[in-house]
Structure 1
Amino acid sequence: MSLRKAIDDKCKECIYCPLSKGTWRQQVADCASTQCPLYDVRPKSNAKKQGG
């Protein structure tokens, strides 16, 4: 397993809720857990990357 996949999987496991609005990437990009060690390397949605 790659490091990127491991990070993606952990973030998805932590915050994603299929009943909530948005894709798992959108939900992870909106994560507010700034104390998380993965916060700065969490996956972000393509819309966020294009906008900033």
Structure 2
Amino acid sequence: DEFSIEKNKIFIATGYAHKIGDAKNNLPLVEEARKLGRQMVESLKEGS
């Protein structure tokens, strides 16, 4: 079976942390995660 995903269904967030707990203090990373979450919700809404 062929596996394909539509381009508008692929979501990417980037960022890094050096140790546990760093991510929550990395504002750009937190904002990327929020953006990713919003994109995923919109995608799910479109699919229903």
TM-score above 0.5: no
**TM-score range relative to shorter protein:** under 0.3
Give the structure with higher Rg (CA).
2
TM-score using structure 1 length: 0.26
TM-score using structure 2 length: 0.26
